[in-house]
Structure formats: C-alpha cells, structure tokens
Amino acid sequence: MPNKKTPRIAIAILAAGKGTRLKSRLPKVLHEIGGRPLLAHVIAAATQVVPAPDVFAIIGHEAALIREAVESTGIRFVLQEEQRGTGHALMVARDALAAYDHVLVLSGDAPLITAATIVALRHFHLAHRASMTLLTADLDHPTGYGRVIRQSARSTAVRSIVEEKSASPAQKKIREINSGFYAFAVKPLFQHIQKLSTGNPHREYYLTDMAAILNRARQKVLAYKTPNPVEILGSNTRAEMVGLDLRLRAAKCQELMTQGVTIFYPHTCVIDSMVEIGPDTIIEPFVQLLGHTRLGSDCRIRSYSILANSQLGDGVLVRPGTLMDQARVASRAVIGPYSHLRPGSDIGEAAHIGNFVETKKLKLGKGSKANHLSYLGDAEIGAGVNIGAGTITCNYDGVNKHTTIIEDNVFVGSDSTLVAPVTIGQGAYIAASSCITHSVPPDSLALGRARQEIKEGWARHKRELTAAAKRARPKPRVDHPA
C-alpha cells in the first residue's frame, strides 16, 4: 500500500508531433543533439526524478520508430494516433494517468531540461497545493513562445497563457514565456480538460488553455519561474537544433575540463553527451569522440581522429587521423597515425598499430606491433609478435570468413600473405614476401615464395642489344622548306 501522504507522481513527455518546421522524414524527437535523440535527453532527466515505469511518452507520428529508439529505457508509451494538439495529447493519456495524483508534463523537443529543474517544479507545485503550475522563464527574445499573463505583476498566480499567433501587440511585449513544462493535479485536470476547444488559428486543443479554464473553475494556477532559462529552449527548426547542440557540447567540454581533462580549442571538437574521459587526458583540436566512447587517464588523442563507441585504457597515444569504431585498446598502446580500427578490434597492452593499418575482429596481444600498411581481420595474435610492413590476412574466400591464429613471439616478414584458416606456431619465423597457405609449426621458418635466381650480365647484354637496334634504324628524312 502506498503511503497516503506521499503523492503518486507520473511524468508525461509530449512527443507525438511531426515537427513540420524541420522538413524532415525523421520525427522531430528522434533528431539528435550531442549524439543522442532529443527524446532520449528528456527521458534521461525524467528517470532521475521518478522510476522509469512512471514515465509515459505520448507518441503518434512514426510511433513505432520512436518506441524502438527509446524502449530500452523502460518507460511506457501512450499512443496519440491523430495529433490534435498538446491538450489532446493529455486527453488520450487519461487512462494511463488515472492511477496518479499529479503529472509533470515535459516537452519531447526541449532536451536541455535537467532533473534539478523538474524537481524544483514538483516541489513548488506540491508546496503550494496548486492545480496547475507552469514553469516559466524570462527570455530576451520571447517571439514564438506562449506568453504568461499573471493576475498581477507581483502575484505568482496566472490568469492565462496567450499563444504567439493570438497575442496582441502589448502581450507580445511580455518577456515571461510558457516553457511547455507543467505540473498538474490529475483530478482537476481531467475534470475540466473536456472544456478545451479548437477555436484557435491552428484548430488544435491547446494544453495552454487549461490555465484560463482552471482559473474559471476557481482552481489554483501558478507560475514557477526558472532561474535557468536555457534549459527550456525548444528546437522547432534546424537552426535552433544546431544551436542547442552547440550549447550542449560546450557544456560537456566544460564539465570534462572540471574533471581534469585538457581540451585544446574545444569549439573544434565534437564530443557526445555519453563520452567519459579520465583525468590528465589531452584532447587536441578537431577530434571527434562519439557514442559510448570511454577514455582512461593520461591518454593523448591527436588531431583529426574520430573515435566512436570505443574504450581506451590509461596512457594510450592516438596519433593523428585515426578512425576507431567499436574498438578496445588497452593501456599504453600506441595507435596511428592513420590507423583504421574497425568493430571487434581488441588491442593489447603497449601494442602498436601504425600507419595505414586496418584491423577488424582482431585480438592483438601485449606488446605486439603492426606498424605499417597491413590488413589484419579475423585474427588472433599473441604477445610479442612482429607483423612486418604490408602483411595481409586473407580472411575471405568469397563465401566465408576464416581465422588466422598467430601465437606468441612470431616474426612475420614484410609483405606476407596469410591465407586463412592458418595457424603460425609460437616463435616461428615467416620469411618476407611469403604466401602462407599451410599452418606453420612452432619455432620453424616458413618460406612461401619463388627462389631467387641470378642471371649474370643479363642487364648489360640487354642494354647493348637496345643500342645496336637504335643504330641500325634508318634516319628519318627531313624536308626543309626552301
């Protein structure tokens, strides 16, 4: 039995709209800032305030796509099949919200909201026993937002909200705007929500009209003004979205720097929200760290490297122009310049991967080196191995992929091709330029190339023949003009 004194609180996130102003195939709330969808940011804040099953996303346009994108968060969904306005969105959530005392309404397209501000809104709403509390903010440029009409200048009580399109010139001068975040007591909300009408320029049920409706019903409607107006910024256009992305990434860089990370020219770096970096790591200009990338401490990531969903240990040096996707690199390894680590690359402690080396599903042991011009795919390579320049694992026979196994302390000479499946035993030696098609026993030498032949004097003889042929050729006649 829930304690009678603890109100049951749900969060509803409005996310059913199409986002017409974006001119996009993708629904608005799946557009990304900071490397993850708008809606995922709002869910992350919401689930810090209430348990995930008490969070309801109201979805409609491209509902299946949205559900799939954020299902793993454990929140619940309400389908608003036809999108007839923000008020209508709550009408369809009536059954889902019946079990709660209060609902906090968030907007799926305002991703900078923080848990602290949601908690402050909840606290204000409950402390004042309001029926409806709007989160408001003073903006220097309020154009486009609904304006808040207070009962009087000093009062926390709100008379109504006027949408931009319906606002008089005097009302348009009001700088206090409706953020689109609200707290409602569930009972009065659904007792009066049927009074909403579509008598407005958009022919929609506006949730904002609930302010005036609840007032007329003598219910308490209040405004709580946030001291952090940036948190309520919405993203209705591409330009607004890029602006939010910039803010979010700048804040991310600041946060990382307070945690002991050095980021040179942070405005040139693209660092996603979920990235984690240990102290004393240095990020050079024009680096991208994407997705769930995690770097240890004392690493250095040099310019023009792009690391996506990869994990690095401590003291790793990534030289310029390196690409990584779903790779793991252990401590003190050195990667690059211009290395390409593809999914499943697992580089051991203090190992080296150098210029123009491509790896895929590679396990490389401690201290092993592949420094130049190689392709290493579907391979398990032990510790202390040297892979010579230009070595290729031939992993694909046109139908299937096969594995190359190279045991500890093997030396692979330059320009070798290893035709998988093949195993090179511990301590073996592959002569340069070998084509290895059979497994090599430990501690042996394998030569897989044509034996060298010498033809003495051959080059001199060829030169003499050429010269003789040239002498024998008749001189071309030239007719000079008179």
Residues that bind ligand UD1 (CB under 6 A): 14-17, 58, 80, 83-86, 88-89, 107-110, 145-146, 161, 163, 177-180, 206-208, 234, 236
Q: Interface with Ca ion includes 142 (CB under 5 A)? A: no
Cα→Cα distances 415→12, 304, 451, Å: 61, 29, 16
Least distance CB 17 / Ca ion (angstroms): 8
Q: Interface with Ca ion includes 108 (CB under 5 A)? A: no
Cα gap 114→127, rounded to integer Å: 20
Cα gap 79→196, rounded to integer Å: 20
Which one of Ca ion, ligand UD1, none is in contact with 368 (Cβ closer than 5 to 8 A by kind)? Answer: none
Which one of Ca ion, ligand UD1, none is in contact with 177 (Cβ closer than 5 to 8 A by kind)? Answer: ligand UD1
**268 CB burial (10 A radius; 0-12, 13-18, 19+):** middle
Which one of ligand UD1, Ca ion, none is in contact with 307 (Cβ closer than 5 to 8 A by kind)? Answer: none
Taking CB under 5 A as the binding criterion, the range among 128-136, 228-236, 376-384, 405-413 that sits at the site for Ca ion is 228-236
Cα→Cα distances 184→55, 146, 187, 188, Å: 15, 18, 9, 8
Q: Interface with Ca ion includes 27 (CB under 5 A)? A: no
Which one of ligand UD1, Ca ion, none is in contact with 80 (Cβ closer than 5 to 8 A by kind)? Answer: ligand UD1
Closer of 62 and 245 to ligand UD1 (Cβ) = 62
Closer of 243 and 337 to ligand UD1 (Cβ) = 243
Least distance CB 376 / ligand UD1 (angstroms): 47
Which one of ligand UD1, Ca ion, none is in contact with 147 (Cβ closer than 5 to 8 A by kind)? Answer: none
Helix, strand, coil % over all residues of the chain, rounded to 5:
25, 30, 45
Cα gap 196→193, rounded to integer Å: 6
Taking CB under 5 A as the binding criterion, the range among 97-105, 235-243, 305-313, 393-401 that sits at the site for Ca ion is 235-243
Which of 372, 343, 89, 108 is closest to 234 using CA atoms? 108
Which of 275, 281, 271, 277 is closest to 250 using CA atoms? 271
Q: Interface with Ca ion includes 234 (CB under 5 A)? A: yes
Q: How many CB atoms lie within 10 A of CB 303?
A: 17
Closer of 177 and 424 to Ca ion (Cβ) = 177
Closer of 16 and 301 to ligand UD1 (Cβ) = 16
Residue 372 is a catalytic residue? yes
Closer of 109 and 176 to Ca ion (Cβ) = 109
Q: Find the residue with minimal CB distance to ligand UD1.
A: 146
Residue that the structure tokens 């690409």 belong to: 323
Question: What are φ and ψ of residue 68, in 5° steps?
Answer: -60, -40
Which one of ligand UD1, Ca ion, none is in contact with 16 (Cβ closer than 5 to 8 A by kind)? Answer: ligand UD1
Identify the active-site residue in 102, 372, 402, 480: 372
Q: Find the residue with minimal CB distance to Ca ion.
A: 234
Closer of 156 and 166 to Ca ion (Cβ) = 166
Q: Interface with Ca ion includes 111 (CB under 5 A)? A: no
Cα gap 376→373, rounded to integer Å: 10
Which one of ligand UD1, Ca ion, none is in contact with 208 (Cβ closer than 5 to 8 A by kind)? Answer: ligand UD1
- Which residue(s) pair with 412 in the sheet? 387, 430
Least distance CB 153 / Ca ion (angstroms): 27
Least distance CB 182 / ligand UD1 (angstroms): 9
- Which residues ranging from 243 to 272 are in contact with Ca ion (CB under 5 A)? none
State the first-to-last Cα distance of the chain, in angstroms, to the nearest integer: 121
Closer of 31 and 369 to ligand UD1 (Cβ) = 31
Residue partners of 336: CB distance under 8 A and separation at least 6: 302, 305, 318, 319, 320, 321, 322, 353, 354, 355
Q: Residue 127 corresponds to which tokens in the numbers above?
A: 């402390």
Least distance CB 240 / ligand UD1 (angstroms): 10
Residue partners of 438: CB distance under 8 A and separation at least 6: 422
H/E stretch holding 213 reads helix 210-216
Which one of ligand UD1, Ca ion, none is in contact with 317 (Cβ closer than 5 to 8 A by kind)? Answer: none
Closer of 36 and 88 to ligand UD1 (Cβ) = 88
Cα→Cα distances 67→47, 70, 95, 253, 407, Å: 16, 6, 19, 30, 47
Least distance CB 123 / ligand UD1 (angstroms): 21
Least distance CB 180 / Ca ion (angstroms): 6
Q: How many residues does the chain have?
A: 482
Q: Interface with Ca ion includes 384 (CB under 5 A)? A: no
Least distance CB 43 / Ca ion (angstroms): 17
Q: Residue 142 corresponds to which tokens in the numbers above?
A: 């309020």
* Residues with active-site annotation: 372
Site residues for Ca ion per CB under 5 A: 109, 234, 236
